[in-house]
Chain A
Amino acid sequence: MRVHPLTGLAAAGSTAVITTAAGSWPLSLAVVAGALAVSTVGGTARRLLPAAAAVLVPLSLSLLMVHGLAYPEGRAVLAEWGPARVTTEGLGFALQRGVQVWAAVLALLAFSFSVSVPDLVAALNAKGVRGRFAFVLASTLTLLPAIAAQAARIRTAQEARGLVIRRGLVHRAAAFRLQAVPLVLALVEDAGTRAAALEARGFSSSGPRTSYRTVPDSTAQRLLRAVLLLAAAAAVVLRLWAAAA
C-alpha cells in the first residue's frame, strides 16, 4: 500500500512534536536512528545526509561552542581558560538539546525527501488556503532550478559583454547588482504573465475543484492520521501540565 503524502506528513510532524515534548535523549536517539533507517530503506539516504549535515553540523558546533565554553549556571568545572569554562552541565545541555534537534530535523527531512511533491500538491489541491499553499510550495520547488539556470544564463550573457568579475567584496557586490537587476526584472515580468495565465485558467475561481492525479487513500490511513495528530496534541498537553504542576 502506498503511503498517502498527508500520512507521511502527519507521521513526521507528530514525531517531531512528541520528541520535543518528551525531551528525553534515549527517545531522541531512537528517533534519529528510526529516521535514518526509514530513509535508507526508501533509498533517499544519499540525498538526505548531505542536506541534514548542512543544517545540523553548524548548529551542533554552535551549541557546543555556546554551552561547552560558557555555561554560567554550571557547577562541575572540567577545564577553564580565561573567561571560558567547560562544565559538565553545559556539555550535557548541549548534547541533550543537540540530539533533540537532530531528531526533529531528521524526522522532517525523511518526510520531505521521500514524499512525491506532485502527490502532496494533489492531496492539498483545493480552493482557498490549501490550494494556494500547495501552489506556493510546488511553484517554489519548480522555480528553484529554473531560476538558478536563468541566473547562470544572465551571467554568461554579461560576460559576453565584457563583464569581468574581479576579486574583492566591492567588485562582487557591483557584479551582484548587475546580475540581480535583469534577473528580478525578468522574474517580475514572467510572474505577471503567469498570473494572467493562471487567472484565465480558473486559479481564483470559487467553485468546487477536481483532481486529475489520483492519490490513493484509505480509511486505515485516515484513522492513522487522526491518531498521530491526537498523540502529538496529547504529548504537548501532558508536558505543559507536568511543567505547571
Chain B
Amino acid sequence: MRLPSSPVLKAGIQSFTFHDGGGPVLERIGVAAAPGTLTAVLGASGSGKTTLGRLLAGWLTPGAGGTLHGYLELDGIRLDFGSGRAEGDGTAHHRGEPRIDPAAWGRRVGFVPQDAAAALSTVRATVAEELAFGLENAGVPRTAMVAAVERTANLLGLTGLLDRHPARLSGGQLRRLAVGCAVISGPAVLVMDEPFASLDAAGARELAALVRHLVASGTAVVILSQVIDRLLLAADQWLVLDAGTVAAAGDPADLGPDTGLVPAGIRWVGEAARAAQPTALAIRQTATAARVASTGNTEVPATTDTAAASRDSGGAGAALELRDVSFSYSSDGSRTRYKGRLLARSRKAGAAPRQPLVLAGINLAVHPGEIVAVTGPNGAGKSTLLRHLNGLLRPATGSVLVDGSDIAGRAVGETAAGVGLLFQHPRDQLFERTLLREVRFGLDRMVGPAQAGERAAAALAAVGLEGAAHGHPAELSASGQRLLALATVLARKPSIIALDEPTVALDGDGLAVLDAAVRSAAAEGAAVVLVTHDLDYAQTAAHRLVAFDGGRLTDC
C-alpha cells in the first residue's frame, strides 16, 4: 500500500482556460497534497487560486468548465486532459477525454467555497438534514447516516443547532456547516477557499482548531488565502500564486517576508505580522505617526487631543454627529422577516421576545479630516450603526446630524450626496456595463457632464483602475470590485466616508490603495468612519479607535 507521506492528490497543470475566449487563467502549476499535511495556496485577489481550488476539488470539471492541459491524480489514479491535442474551440468534446464524476470525486475531496451560503442545497429544512444530503444521495443506510451526522456535528460544534433551519444560522455557523457538508463523507482531502474571511477572532480560533484536528487525523487540508495568519505560518508547504502561475513554493520558513518571494498583494496579519514581519509593521506604524503629524501641520484636527476636545465640546463643527441614538429591530424584525418564513411556519410566531437594543444611546462626533475606527465582534451591530449615517435606518430615539443638520426626513438618495457608504458586498452596489459608466452614475446631475467625466477618471485613477475603465465591473476580481465601489464614493467627494469592513475581500495591494485613497480624502477634509472586526488594521488605519459592543461605544 501507499506510504503515508505519498500524496493523495496531485495536479500538474500546463494551462487552464475558461470557455470565455480569454487567455489561460492558470499556467505551469504543480501541486501535491499528502495525508496529514496542511498546504497553503497563497495569492492576491485574481491570482487564480479559487480556480485552482475548484479544479482540485472537482467543482470545475475539465471539458464542461474549461479546457485543461495537464493531469489530475487522486488516490493514485491519474487522469490526463488535453494531452498532445490542438487547441479546440472549447465546446468540442475530445474523444476519449475523461469526464470527472463530480460525486465520486467529491466523496474523496471536499471543498468549502468562500460564500458558504451558496454551497447549501436550499432544499433541506434542518442543519441535520443538510449535513445528511450527500449521504442520502449516496444511498447510505439511515442508521449510519444518523451516526455520521452526530459525529460531524460534534466535530464542528453544531450539535445544539441540528434542528435549526440553515437560513437562520450566523455567518460563522454557516461556514462551519459548509465544512461539515464537505467532511461528512470522510474525504481524504479538504480544500477551503478563504475560510477566515469575515470571521471575527473567536470564529477564526474555532475554525483554526478544527483545521488542526483534521490535519492531525490524517486529512490533507489545502487552504486558499490572500492573508497569511498564524495557522498558515505553521503549514507544511506554501504555494504562492501570482497572475495564474507559481511565484514561489516550498517550506514557509524559506519564504519569509525578507526574502521578497511573497508578492505584496498577500497580507500578513495578526501574529504572522508580528512574528514574521516586525520591521514591516514598525514601518507602517511610523508611517501612521508621520501622517498624523503631517495632517496636524495642515491644520486638520486629527490628533488624539482634538478627539478628546470634540468629546468635551459635544461635537461643535463636526462633519458627522450622532446624538443619543438608540435603535432596535422590531419584534417581527425587518432583519429576520424574510428568512425561511415559508418553510419554517412557526406556530409561535406571536411569542417572539422583545428585541434588545442594537444601539443604546450612541454619541459620536467625527470632525473633518478625522479617521475613526469602530471595532467590535461580528453580530454586535456595527453595520446597523453604519446604516444610520445616511438614513438607511432611522433611529428610534436621538438624531443624526450631517454637516450640522438633521437628516431625519431626507431621502437616502439625497443624503448620499454628502455621505458615501461603502458596503461589505460591493456587487450589490454595482450595476453598470462599464467601470467608467459606473463611476459616472449620478455625477452628471450633480456637477454637469464636463466635470463628471473629469471626476470619474480621477476617481478611477485614485484606486488604480484607470486601465480597465471600459471593462465590465463583474469581471473584476473581488478586490477590484471593492475598489471600484470605493471610486464611486470618492467621485462624489462626500464630506463623510463610511466603510463597512474594509479588510474583507481586499488583498494587500487593494488595502494599500484603499488606505492611500481614504487618507487623501481625509486630508482634503472628509470625515471617515470605518467599522471593522480587525483590531490590527483599525490601529494602523485610524486616528481614533472606538470599541462597540452591547449597543454602546467606549473609547479605546
User: Are these two chains actual partners, yes or no?
Assistant: yes
Is A142 on the interface with B (CB-CB < 8 A)?
A: yes
Interface residues of B in 137-163 (CB under 8 A from A): 137-142, 145-146, 149
A177 to B125 CA separation, bound complex (whole angstroms): 33
Assess whether B379 is interfacial by the CB under 8 Å rule.
no
Interface positions, chain B 75-108, Cβ under 8 Å from A, are: 102-103, 105-107
- Could you tell me if B423 and A210 are in contact, using CB atoms closer than 8 angstroms? no
Could you say which residues of chain B place their CB within 8 Å of the CB of A201?
A: 103, 106, 121, 133-134, 137, 181
Query: Cβ of A167 < 8 Å from any Cβ of B?
Result: no
Per the bound structure, the CA–CA distance linking A121 and B342 in Å amounts to 14
Contact at B427–A186, with CB atoms within 8 Å? Answer: yes
> Which positions 93-139 of chain B face chain A at CB distance < 8 Å?
102-103, 105-107, 110-111, 113, 115, 118-126, 128-129, 132-139
CB-based contact A207/B132 at 8 Å: no
Binary CB contact string for chain B from 396 to 421 against chain A (1 if under 8 A, 0 otherwise): 00000000000000011110110101
Q: Residue-by-residue, is A150-190 near B (CB-CB < 8 Å gives 1, otherwise 0)? A: 00111011111111110000000000001101100110001
Question: Nearest chain A CB to B311's CB is how many angstroms away?
Answer: 28
A202 engages B138 (CB within 8 Å)? yes
- Once A135-B123, A160-B429, A211-B136 are accepted as A-B contacts, the answer to whether A196 and B59 lie under 8 Å apart by CB is yes
Please give me the residue from chain A that is nearest to B390 by CB atom.
A160
What 0/1 pattern do residues 211 to 234 of B give for CB contact below 8 A with A? 000000000000000000000000
Taking a contact as CB atoms under 8 Å apart, the answer to whether A118 and B340 are in contact is: no
Contact A207 to B412, CB < 8 A, known contacts A135-B123, A199-B106: no
Does residue B2 face the partner (Cβ distance < 8 Å to A)? no
Size of the A side of the interface (Cβ < 8 Å), in residues, is 58
Q: Is A2 an interface residue when CB atoms closer than 8 A count as contact?
A: no
The secondary structure that dominates the A interface is: helix
Complex Cα gap A164–B129 (Å): 43
Of residues 47 through 61 on chain B, the ones whose CB sits less than 8 Å from some CB of chain A are 54, 57-60
Q: Which residues of B contact A134 (CB under 8 A)?
A: 123
| Structural contact, A212 and B142, CB atoms closer than 8 A | yes
Given contacts A146-B339, A160-B421, A200-B103, 15 further A-B contacts (CB under 8 A): A118-B125, A118-B343, A145-B338, A145-B342, A146-B167, A148-B338, A162-B414, A162-B441, A164-B414, A190-B118, A194-B122, A197-B120, A199-B106, A200-B111, A210-B135
Contacting residues of chain B (408-462) with chain A, CB-CB under 8 angstroms: 411-414, 416-417, 419, 421, 423, 425, 427-431, 441-442, 446
Contact A154 B138 (CB under 8 A): no
Q: Which residues of A contact B (CB under 8 A)?
A: 43, 47, 117-118, 121, 125, 134-135, 138-139, 141-146, 148-149, 152-154, 156-165, 178-179, 181-182, 185-186, 190, 193-194, 196-205, 207-214
Number of A-B residue pairs at CB separation under 8 A: 188
- Distance in angstroms from B58 CB to nearest chain A CB is 6
Across the A-B interface, give the 5 residue pairs with the lowest CB-CB distance, nearest first: A200-B106, A202-B137, A164-B413, A201-B134, A118-B125
Known: A118-B124, A212-B136, A212-B145. A157 touches B102 (CB 8 A): no
When distances are taken between beta carbons in the complex, the residues of chain A under 8 Å from B138 are: 202, 205, 207
The residues of B that contact A214 with a CB separation of less than 8 Å are 142
Q: A199, B488: Cβ atoms under 8 Å?
A: no
**Nearest Cβ distance between residue A216 and chain B, in whole angstroms?**
14
Q: Report the Cα distance A210→B124, complex, angstroms.
A: 14
In the assembly, what is the distance between CA of A156 and CA of B488, in Å? 15
A118 (CB) vs chain B CBs: closest residue: B125
Q: Which residues of B contact A157 (CB under 8 A)?
A: 423, 425, 428-429
A125 to B390 alpha-carbon distance, docked (Å): 48
Given A207-B139, A212-B145, does the pair A117, B105 have CB atoms closer than 8 Å?
no
Residue contacts A-B, CB under 8 angstroms, 20 given: A118-B126, A134-B123, A142-B167, A142-B342, A142-B343, A144-B342, A148-B338, A149-B339, A157-B423, A159-B416, A160-B421, A161-B489, A163-B413, A164-B413, A165-B413, A190-B118, A199-B59, A200-B102, A200-B103, A203-B121
Q: Which residues of A contact B137 (CB under 8 A)?
A: 201-203, 205, 209
Which single residue of chain A is at the shortest CB-CB distance from B141? A210
Indicate if the CB atoms of B59 and A149 lie closer than 8 Å: no
* Docked complex Cα distance between A165 and B134 (Å): 45
* Contact residue among A138, A154, A161, A193 (Cβ-Cβ distance under 8 Å from B115): A193
B348 interface contact, C-beta 8 A: no
Cβ distance B442 to chain A, nearest Cβ, rounded Å: 5
A-side contacts of B149, CB under 8 Å: 212
Q: Closest Cβ of chain B: how far from A219's Cβ, in Å? A: 21
Judge whether A209 and B390 touch: CB under 8 Å.
no
* CA gap between A206 and B407 in the complex, in Å: 60
Once bound together, how far apart are the Cα atoms of A213 and B149, in whole Å?
12
Other-chain residue from A141, A154, A197, A204 in contact with B428 (beta carbon distance below 8 A)? A154
How far apart sit A135 and B417, CA to CA, in the bound complex (Å)? Answer: 45
| A182: nearest chain-B partner, CB-CB | B431
Q: How far is the CA of A211 from the CA of B132 in the complex (A)?
A: 8
Cβ-defined contact, B423 with A160, below 8 A: yes
CA distance A146 to B125 in the complex (A): 14
| B28 vs chain A, min Cβ distance (A) | 25
Q: How far is the CA of A160 from the CA of B431 in the complex (A)?
A: 13
State whether the Cβ of B292 lies closer than 8 Å to any Cβ in chain A: no
A161-B140 CB under 8 A given contacts A142-B167, A199-B103, A213-B129: no
- Determine if A160 and B140 form an interchain contact, defined as CB atoms under 8 angstroms apart: no
Q: Are A202 and B103 in contact (CB under 8 A)?
A: yes
Smallest distance from the beta carbon of B492 to chain A beta carbons, Å? 7
* Contact call B122/A139, Cβ cutoff below 8 A: yes
**Within the complex, which residue of A160, A193, A208 is in contact with B119, where a contact is CB–CB below 8 Å?**
A193
Contacts A199-B103, A205-B137: A159 and B412 contacting too (C-beta < 8 A)?
Answer: yes
The verdict on A212 contacting B123 (CB below 8 Å), with A156-B412, A162-B416, A200-B111 known, is: no
With A145-B338, A145-B340, A197-B113 known to touch, is A209 a contact of B124 (CB < 8 Å)? no
Set of chain B residues within 8 Å of A197, measured between Cβ atoms: 59, 111, 113, 118-121, 181
Of B340, B347, B429, which is in contact with the most chain A CB atoms at under 10 Å from its CB?
B429
Docked-complex contact A162 and B413, CB < 8 angstroms: yes
Asked whether, in the complex, the Cβ of B136 is within 8 Å of the Cβ of A125, the reply is yes
Min CB distance, A3 to chain B, in Å? Answer: 16
> Is the beta-carbon distance between B338 and A139 smaller than 8 angstroms?
no
Which of chain A's residues have a CB closer than 8 A to the CB of B413?
159, 162-165
Task: Give Cα A152 to B136, complex, Å.
Answer: 35
Q: List residues of B (284-309) whose CB comes within 8 Å of A's CBs.
A: none
Contact A142 B492 (CB under 8 A): no
Nearest-CB distance from B53 to chain A (Å)? 11
Bound CA–CA A43/B349 (angstroms) = 13
Decide: B125 and A179 in contact? CB cutoff 8 A: no
Q: Please give the distance in Å from B59's CB to the nearest CB on chain A.
A: 4
Which residues of chain B are within 8 angstroms of A142 by Cβ–Cβ distance?
122-123, 167, 340, 342-343
Question: A158 and B429 in contact (CB under 8 A), knowing A141-B343, A142-B167, A201-B133?
Answer: yes
With contact pairs A149-B338, A149-B339, A200-B58 given, residues A121 and B123 touching in the complex (Cβ less than 8 Å): yes
Query: Which of B136, B137, B429 has the largest number of chain A CB atoms within 10 A?
Result: B137
A153 and B342 contacting across the interface, CB-CB below 8 Å: no
The reply to whether B136 and A209 contact each other, CB–CB distance below 8 Å, is: yes
